[in-house]
Amino acid sequence: SAKRHGRNHDQRFRPSLDVAGDRQLALVNDLRTALAKGTQLELHYQTQHALRDGALVGMEALLRWRHPVHGMISPGDFIPLAERHGLMSSLGNWVVERAIAQLANWRLAGVAEVPVWVNISALQLIQGDLESRLAASLAQYRLPARLLGLELTESVLLDERAGDIYPRLEALRALGHQIAIDDFGTGYSSLSYLKRLPVDKLKLDRAFVRALPEDSADAAIVGAVLAMARGLSLEVIAEGVETPAQRDFLLSNGCPLVQGFLFSRPVPATELEPRLLNELQPI
């Protein structure tokens, strides 16, 4: 009904949970249109900080879709749809190009260089020519690869369709990209793979952060991950830090980096720019 399809402020629009296939297909077509027009899609940016002094050290780019009828749809809802219907490569390419264009804008605006991290889906590695697209976009704006970090989940690293991913990660790092394992701890991989995995950073999933410091099991897991990462010379960034108590626990356990609502929510680039100009010393 028209009411059901209208903007609804009480109940979030959850397309991936909707069983009606025709409604999903309509949404897939809307997404195709959004990609072609480029006007409904946006990247929002969430800051990342050094825990010791609060310094802004990076930003994660997070995809947003402002649907003309349904309003803001969360990536957790439309990305699975894009993956199922063959739109993920185009969507991923859009994200990479937009993030690089934004880096160039910030440089023009006089913002000191700080890396932007983008989320890379398995399908981008499997189907896409990710490496050459990254190189072409960076070259277009004469930006160094060190300004674009890549976040991959454990499931991406273990996806057999992606082939032998290790040499590709090595090559991306040789070009200057930093690589992080996203949602670390929630996958089903063995710990031994970390020994030879060419990555720079672990992003500790917020599932382990949420109940800190009270939950003694989570506290033990986080402490162990931090100790292990130190031994392997991997950086750790804790995700989803919302309270001072969580921050204090992480600080006293030697976690170097944090990201979360306590520091900032993901916001549009224009909203972040004054803060970037303020907090970052130009070089």
Chain contacts with ligand C2E (rule: CB under 6 A):
46, 62-63, 74-76, 79, 92, 95, 119, 121, 151, 182-183, 206, 239-242, 259-261, 266
Nearest distance from C-beta of residue 22 to ligand C2E, angstroms:
25
Choose among Mg ion, ligand C2E, none what residue 15 binds, the Cβ cut-off being 5 to 8 Å by kind.
none
The CA distance from 102 to 142, in Å, is 13
Q: Phi/psi at 44 (nearest 5 deg)? A: -105, 155
- Whether 238 contacts 16, CB under 8 Å: no
DSSP annotation of 19: -
Nearest distance from C-beta of residue 183 to ligand C2E, angstroms:
5
The CA distance from 49 to 256, in Å, is 9
The CA distance from 30 to 49, in Å, is 36
Nearest distance from C-beta of residue 76 to Mg ion, angstroms:
8
The CA distance from 38 to 32, in Å, is 10
The CA distance from 26 to 20, in Å, is 10
Nearest distance from C-beta of residue 21 to ligand C2E, angstroms:
23
Output 66 or 110, the one with its CB closest to ligand C2E. 66
Output 30 or 151, the one with its CB closest to ligand C2E. 151
Output 121 or 253, the one with its CB closest to ligand C2E. 121
Residues engaged in binding Mg ion (CB under 5 A): 119, 151, 182-183, 239
Output 46 or 137, the one with its CB closest to ligand C2E. 46
The CA distance from 178 to 172, in Å, is 8
